[in-house]
Structure 1
Amino acid sequence: MPLNDERPASTSSGNDHGSDAESPSERRDGFTSASDPESSRDGFTSDGSCKHCTPSPSPVKILTMDEVVESAKELSNLCLAHELIVNPSFHVEPNRLPPNSIWKVVRDIAHKAFWDKLESELNDDPPEYRQAIRLLEEIRELLLSFLNPDASRMRTQIMGVLDMDLIQQQADNDAVDIQGLAAYIITTMEKMCAPIREEEIKKLRENTDNIVTLYREIFRVLDLMTLDMVNHENRRLAEYLKVAGVEYERETFQSILDKTPTALNRTTSWIKSALEMLSANTPSEQTEGQGKGQKVVPGPFQILDAAFLIILRWDYAKAPPPETWMTDEVCLQEIQRQLQQCQVVNGVLLIVHNTIGGPIQGLPSLSDRLKRMTSVLLDGMHNPNFNLDEALESVSAQICCEINKSLTERSYSSLTPALQASLKGQICSITQKNNPIRTLVEDRLQHFFKAVISDPKPQVRLEQVPAGLTTIKPELMAIAAKFISLVKYNRDVYGHFYADIIRKLLFSSSPPAGDPPQESQ
């Protein structure tokens, strides 16, 4: 796993990936072997084609503006649906602009101008109600938007009380009961609001400020109620999408692909790089009766699992992710950041235990304290202005203090200046690309995720953390579980697209006569 923006050299998934030969009931991603009688149903058919997806080479299509807008809308819907499915805690937050930003300044000025004008008109003699009527009409539309289609009685009541023609006639005769309308609006809001807003409604009733301030507060609470309604509808939609989400996302992406034939270009390049990596590291296999070896062609599962490992260490600064992963980009980057921080913490603690040895062995409380302290000092290590070298110097100094304190309390001698200097030097050098501890941790993390991804029952594998990573076992298990969940869902949605791409990559060029490629098992 790379530190910050570095990318380690590609490593092979190798032949220790495990068998790709699975029974039809264990097939994943729509792949089947050439000898599988079910191959015409899923993934590869007998002629090497893919039944479920139809992206094929075609002339470049010039899109109209309407088609671009429609594709953008479908992509937006796809992203929202995906977030609702994979993120149970997803909800819409109030739009809070950054303090002192130009957008906040402009918005605040516009809002102030609106409310100042309303106050000025109501204070005129006689009062002017033009701004107030606009305000009441907008409130009426918001209240109506909260109603279910069958709430005809309340709809009629709202339309009757907030009848704009009637209010305009009252305004012409200076007879608008602006305070009474506010009381009715608050009562109606109380009937519609979620329980969490009851305290806000109570404050509206108790509001003793002027009428303009009261209406401003009514609008603020209506905005909150709008968010509540949106989040409620999102939760209802999420329940439906949990059942139909895979099919919905697949069909939506196919629709985008139909309009934009290049929508799988980055995905194809990603899978191709995994195939090239495997092919470059797959040894030749000796065949009977021949003196020369043959290259073993990686199997489709092996290719796809290797591609998922590439996603785990994707360099987002150099290129956007494959199209089939764009809805998970934020989540993947967070997983990557957490994993890289855990990697550094684990490397630091390995150095400490290897350097100090016996005097600090078998002390879980000390180990946990050092781990928490290191994690806190490295928090935010992926921020652009974070200086990792300085942070590691602070980490090494604090670790020396903690260890000396522990040694003294247990009647051991403190660390010698030479040993402290050695420890600090090793910790600070962990950022170097060829650092042996860093290389060791990266290699074991790679093998751990490789084993978890390729296992049909990954939950069992999550517990089998390799030696040298046990310090970060709880964090590593949580990160891996989240990543595997994304991988599984991604396979379910896009497996048939991957099958078609891999088929084309494997069979796009014919091998020399008499020397057919062999698929690894």
Structure 2
Amino acid sequence: MESNGTGGEANAPENLLGTSPGASSLRSRTESECSDKLARFVLPSMDGSPPKVLTLNEVGDVLKNIQNMELVHEIAINPEFKFEPYEPPENSLERRIKDIMHKAFWDVLRGQLNENPPCYDHAIQLLAEIKDCFPQIISQNNTRALQHINEILDIDVIKQQAEEGVLDFRAYANFVIHLMAKSCAPARDELVRQLTEIEDVVDTFKNILETMALMKLDMVNYLLDFARNDIMANSVEYEKKKFKEYLEYYKFGFPATENWLKNSCIHDANNKPCSPEQTISNAYMELMDWDESKEFPEVLSIDKERILKLGQRAKRLCTCAAVISICSGVPVISQRTENRVALAKQIDIILQGTTNEKELLDSIENVWLQVKTVINEYLQKEDQPVIDANTEDMLKSQIMQTGNKDSPVRTLMWKRFQTYFRLAMRSRAGLPPPPPGYADFKDELEAYCTALKRVIAYNHSVFGEYFMKVLTQQRVTSTDTTTSAAAAAASATESVEPVSSSAAAVTEEKSVNSQ
């Protein structure tokens, strides 16, 4: 599988979108153990239809489609998405091999140039690679510049110059740097200028290649920004198409997704279940504070990390609102808007780095110390006495409790947060005003709601039909089961009724006799 560039088992469809217990892929060998064309993969079926047999290339296409879908999804969901240069981790085997190979290449180049007469084999190879890089950093529409590069970096001419001993390697370096200066983004101007200050020709070309790698990345991100609107406009249909193709191969269902939806179905006082639309809305609300002990919905697995991070972001925001609401009981905070706003920012900074409930709880002590210090400073500025011992103990107790998600103030703030987000989900004309306690965190509140709303709206566009199908089938099954149970109960009642009547009569007689 790795020979097809799929990354091994970590990227298999079952791992990306979940699997049912017992589902597996079986590969059968033919007479050619290494033949991609002859190897077969069997996807078993659980709905009575014959199992589907795929070639290795077909399986590779399935994995490639899922990987493409994940990339398109990330571009559409994350407006700040851009490609970053890849560097192997420090002290990793990959990093050591890379460093050794690169050092060997440049050492060989330096050694060849220092020979008498110089050998230009590696130098010519290097100029050929640089020539191939230019079409990736210069627009294809700039045919004049590309033609000029092909004329100057003519490898046949360079080879002739090397054979005649007149090859000026430094002149070619200056030509390349001159073109890079005209082609690079403004952010790379200083980096390109520094190339002209390097005296050693080998070090010059080494830095040229490193800079060109960054310029290629700039071009890729430029093209991405240019095409982002088109990608976003077509990404939903693309993902829906790929998901349907996946369902043709995978027919086991998604248990965690189905449980997530079914458990969000609320019944009213008459034991009537809410509508599928309301059930889906309730399910989305659960994503605000996902219980990590439960299995995450498989179809949302691409966004699992993003949703969990947003959940922690919501808890931080709720805790900040709870603390500032408690502090508003002190007049110097509640009656001085600038004091309250400044304190709110400081609390937000202290809790910014927390990534889970334990870290949040551990940071509350620092929050209290900051609150105490700031309030006393404000009081002293107004020539008022610092807070007394009783007030200090009360404030500390209440603030320390906010580290617990079940504390009264934090619970209240969380309910307001949920109500706000539910209104934000329904609103099509912008976000509603912040609820009480969140006015000082308006920007963060709106940023959070916009981010989670974008994730939910996008996934609903892709999987909404599938969710409705699951809930509709469940409702039909539930109705059929209820009808069958009612019919069975009615039949049983008819057959048992005479016996019941007799039993009632005996009971009544015993009651009379006992009296």
Query: For the pair shown, which has the larger CA radius of gyration, 1 or 2?
Result: 2
Q: Which whole-Å CA distance do the structure 1 matches of 2:485 and 2:252 have between them?
A: 34
| Residue aligned with 2:272, SS | strand
Higher helix share: 2
The one-character-per-residue Cα deviations of 1:398-449 (angstroms, maximum 9, x if unpaired) are: 2122222323333443222233223222222323353222222222222332
Counterpart for residue 377 of structure 1? 350
Indicate whether 1:189 and 2:176 are aligned.
no
| Structure 2 residue aligned with 1:268 | 258
Cα distance in 2 for partners of 1:321, 1:394 equals 36
Which of the pair has the greater relative contact order for Cα pairs under 8 Å at 6+ separation?
Answer: 1
2:457 matched to 1:495?
no
Indicate yes or no: 2:499 matched with 1:513.
Answer: no
Q: Contact 1:257–1:264 at 8 Å: present in 2 too? A: no
Distance 1:103 1:364, change over 3 A: farther
Task: Please state whether the residue corresponding to 1:336 is helix, strand or coil.
Answer: helix
Contact 1:267 1:322 in 2 (8 A): yes
Q: State the Cα deviation string for residues 335-382 of structure 1 (Å, max 9, x = none).
A: 22221111111122233334x4x5643221221222122222222111
Matches for 1:219-368 after TM superposition, within 5 Å: 219-262=209-252, 264-275=254-265, 278-279=266-267, 282-284=268-270, 295-316=271-292, 319-323=295-299, 325-354=300-329, 356=330, 358=331, 360-368=333-341
Distance 1:208 1:396, change over 3 A: closer
One-letter identity of the residue aligned with 1:513: T
Offset of 1:70 from its aligned partner?
A: 1.8
**SS of corresponding position for 1:380:** coil
Give secondary structure in 2 for the equivalent of 1:405: helix
Amino acid in the other structure paired with 2:460:
R
Aligned partner of 1:126 in structure 2 is: 117
**Counterpart residue identity of residue 444, structure 1:** R
Q: Secondary structure at the match of 1:513?
A: helix
CA deviations over 1:461-484 (Å, ceiling 9, x no partner): x22x43344443442233113222
**Bigger mean CA offset, 192-201 vs 79-88:** 192-201
- Residue 309 of structure 1: how far off its partner (Å): 0.8
C-alpha change, 1:484 and 1:166, in structure 2 (3 Å) is: same
CA contact (8 A) 2:135 2:146 kept: yes
2:388 is aligned to 416
Q: Conserved in 2, the CA contact under 8 Å of 1:314 and 1:321?
A: no
AA aligned opposite 2:409: I
Matches within 5 A, 1:54-133: 57=47, 61=52, 64-99=55-90, 103-133=94-124
Residues 468 and 187 of structure 1: CA distance in aligned 2, closer, same or farther (over 3 Å): closer
Q: Find the aligned partners of 1:151 and 1:400 in 2 and give their Cα distance.
A: 64
Q: What is the CA distance between 1:312 and its match in structure 2?
A: 2.0
Cα pair 2:170 2:201 within 8 Å, conserved: yes
Distance in 2, Cα, partners of 1:466 & 1:218: 55
Cα separation, 2, equivalents of 1:131 and 1:437: 70
The 1-side partners of 2:145 and 2:335 are apart by 70
> Does structure 2 conserve the Cα–Cα contact (< 8 Å) formed by 1:190 and 1:201?
yes
Selected match of 1:395 from 364, 367, 384 = 367
- TM-score when scaled to structure 1? 0.75
In 2, the alpha carbon distance for the partners of 1:442 and 1:258 equals 41
1:186·1:218 contact (CA, 8 Å) conserved in 2? Answer: yes
User: Residues of 2 paired with 1:409 and 1:203: CA distance?
Assistant: 52
Q: 2:447 is matched by which residue type in structure 1?
A: A
For the residues of structure 1 that align with 2:171 and 2:273, how far apart are their CA atoms?
A: 80
Distance 2:280 2:302 in 1: 19
CA distance in 2 between counterparts of 1:352 and 1:146 reads: 56
Number of residues paired by the alignment? 440
CA distance in 1, matches of 2:312, 2:187: 35
SS of equivalent residue, structure 1 residue 90: coil
CA contact (8 A) 1:67 1:259 kept: no
Equivalent residue number for residue 457 of structure 1:
428
Q: Deviations over 1:264-313 (max 9, x none)?
A: 454333222323xx24xx322xxxxxxxxxx2122111011011112222
Change beyond 3 A, Cα 1:393–1:143: same
| Whole-Å separation in 2 of the counterparts to 1:176 and 1:317 | 68
Counterpart contact for 2:364–2:403, Cα < 8 Å: no
Give the match for residue 6 of structure 1.
none
Question: Structure 2 stretches of 5 or more lacking a match?
Answer: 1-44, 487-515
| Cα offset, 1:127, TM superposition | 1.3
Distance 1:371 1:149, change over 3 A: closer
Over aligned residue pairs, what C-alpha RMSD do you find?
3.1
Q: Deviations over 1:44-78 (max 9, x none)?
A: xxxxxxxxxxx995656566543442222212222
Consecutive unaligned residues of structure 1, counting only runs of 5 or more, are 1-54, 285-294, 517-521
CA distance in 2 between partners of 1:337 and 1:74 (Å): 31
User: What SS does structure 2 have at the residue aligned with 1:339?
Assistant: helix
Query: What is the Cα deviation at residue 177 of structure 1?
Result: 2.5
Q: More displaced, 362-371 or 164-173?
A: 164-173
> Is the Cα contact below 8 Å between 2:316 and 2:360 reproduced in 1?
no
Structure 1 107/469 Cα, relative in aligned 2: closer, same or farther at 3 Å? same
Which of 209, 216, 223 is matched with 2:206 structurally? 216
Moved over 6 A (4+): none
Specify the SS of the correspondent of 2:215: helix
CA distance in 2, matches of 1:151, 1:374: 53
> In 1, Cα distance between the equivalents of 2:46 and 2:237?
21
* CA gap 1:317/1:131 in 2 versus in 1, 3 angstroms: farther
Residue 95 of structure 1: SS of its match in structure 2? coil
**Is the CA contact (8 Å cut-off) linking 2:327 and 2:333 kept in structure 1?**
no
| Partner Cα separation in structure 1 for residue 212 and residue 293 of structure 2 | 41
2:466 equivalent to 1:480: no
